[in-house]
């Protein structure tokens, strides 16, 4: 006997219930309104139809109460839709602080995935159940779309920029991953799996991979090979303490140096110039692959300061390099907490 297709995908994430509930409420209301309007049209067409050529129906006056009631009901209905959707959108776009970052790169026609600990996968994403996962995504070529129906998440993956999405898987299992944006000839083959494991099985999976690449080492290598040390070594503007600090720009505004800011500073360094510094850094937009960019961002984040110590790359780019506190009578050269400023080579 043929198996019937399920009415909806499995419910396997912490937000799936809420998404389904909002969808069901709005679908039910839409069906009710359509049936009401259709019923009124049909009923009025029968009741007020012209029964003969000489028949002239009387002119009907306005009914202010009915008109006001209909307008008010419509306003309340659509305002409720907006509040439901806005609340869900904020929840979907604001990952928990404890979320583990996973980098995703879309490429015709595959998904390249790298975990924060350096583990890399192609068309597969292994995650433990119950752990928030934040996906940081970009594309190497055209627009793709990361879609996992069982998690009710769907996000465009766009070349030249970064988008994000997050989820917490609630049930172990294997779930379909699709590209839901037509991206070329083999779009239909751009599929994969999200494999949700129990914490014990996830640790066993990690152990079976052996030693993964160190993402900080990858970032250090890129940082050094592109000559970043010529400006960001011990003699130039330091990146120590940059991540999540507040940075003052030449236009007087202040921004937070988060992940997006670091990427923008590397790809489009002249878009936000730090107060006190000149626009000397070239753009690396056409030079770094998405994987290299992600590695450099993680490396810069690792240069965060402790309360009484500051770390910055040594001459060979290695970490950590601990600097002594500067006495009050001395002054340290002003750091550029905004951009990775590299002299043109």
Specify whether 207 is located in the same domain as 80: yes
Q: Is 103 inside a domain boundary?
A: yes
Range of 193's domain? 9-34+69-212
Q: Are 16 and 158 part of one and the same domain? A: yes
- Looking at the structure, do residues 272 and 292 belong to the same domain, yes or no? yes
Q: Is residue 241 part of a domain?
A: yes
What is the pairing mode between strands 124-128 and 191-197? parallel
Q: What is the pLDDT of residue 3?
A: 58
Q: How many domains does the chain have?
A: 2
Residues 223 and 203 in one domain: no
Strand partners, 107: 110
Residue after which a domain boundary falls, among 212, 246, 273: 212
Taking alpha carbons only, the member of 48, 37, 46 closest to residue 70 is 37
Same domain, 131 and 15: yes
Rounded Cα distance between 125 and 194, Å, is 5
Q: What CATH number does the domain containing 305 carry?
A: 1.10.760.10
Structural domain includes residue 46: no
Residues 191 and 93 in one domain: yes
Q: Are 297 and 216 in contact (CB under 8 A)?
A: no
- Which of 212, 242, 259 is where one domain is finished? 212
> Which CATH number characterizes residue 80's domain?
2.60.40.420
Q: Are residues 109 and 185 in the same domain?
A: yes
Put residue 244 in one of left, alpha, beta given phi > 0 → left and psi -120 to 50 → alpha.
left
In a domain, 4, yes or no: no
Alpha-carbon separation of residue 57 from 39, 50, 135 (angstroms): 21, 7, 64
115 and 241 inside one domain: no
At which residue do the structure tokens 């909002």 appear?
Answer: 22
Strands 163-168 and 132-139: antiparallel
For residue 158, being part of any structural domain is answered with yes
Given a cut of 50, the residues of the chain with pLDDT beneath it are: 1, 234-236, 305-313, 315-345
**Rounded (5°) CA angle 45-46-52:** 95
Residues 141 and 22 in one domain: yes
Looking at the fold, whether 195 and 251 belong to one and the same domain comes out as no
Q: What is the pLDDT of residue 170?
A: 94
């Amino acid at each position: 006997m043929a198996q019937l297709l399920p009415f909806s995908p499995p419910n396997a994430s912490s937000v799936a219930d809420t998404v389904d509930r909002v969808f069901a409420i709005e679908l039910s209301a839409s069906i009710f309104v359509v049936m009401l309007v259709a019923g009124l049209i049909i009923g009025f067409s029968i009741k007020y139809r012209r029964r003969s050529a000489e028949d002239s129906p009387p002119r009907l006056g306005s009914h202010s109460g009915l008109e006001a009631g209909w307008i008010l009901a419509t306003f309340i209905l659509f305002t409720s839709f907006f509040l439901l959707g806005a609340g869900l959108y904020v929840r979907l776009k604001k990952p928990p602080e404890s979320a583990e970052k996973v980098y995703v790169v879309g490429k015709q026609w595959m998904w390249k995935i790298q975990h924060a600990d350096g583990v890399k996968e192609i068309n597969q994403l292994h995650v433990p159940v119950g752990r928030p996962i934040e996906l940081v995504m970009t594309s190497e070529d055209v627009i793709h779309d990361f879609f996992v129906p069982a998690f009710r998440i769907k996000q465009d993956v766009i070349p030249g920029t970064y988008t994000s999405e997050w989820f917490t898987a609630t049930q172990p299992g294997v779930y379909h991953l699709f590209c839901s944006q037509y991206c070329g000839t083999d779009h239909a083959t751009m599929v994969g799996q999200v494999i949700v494991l129990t914490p014990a099985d996830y640790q066993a999976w990690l152990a079976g991979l052996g030693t993964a690449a160190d993402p900080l080492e990858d970032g250090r290598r890129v940082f050094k090979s592109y000559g970043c040390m010529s400006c960001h070594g011990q003699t130039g503007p330091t990146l120590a303490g940059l991540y999540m600090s507040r940075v003052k720009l030449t236009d007087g505004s202040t921004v937070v140096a988060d992940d997006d800011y670091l990427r923008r500073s590397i790809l489009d360094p002249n878009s936000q110039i730090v107060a006190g510094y000149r626009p000397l850094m070239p753009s690396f937009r056409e030079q770094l692959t998405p994987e290299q960019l992600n590695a450099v961002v993680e490396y810069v984040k690792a240069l965060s300061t402790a309360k009484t110590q500051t770390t910055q790359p040594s001459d060979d780019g290695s970490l950590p390099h601990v600097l002594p506190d500067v006495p009050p009578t001395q002054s340290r050269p002003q750091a550029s907490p905004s951009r990775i400023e590299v002299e043109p080579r």
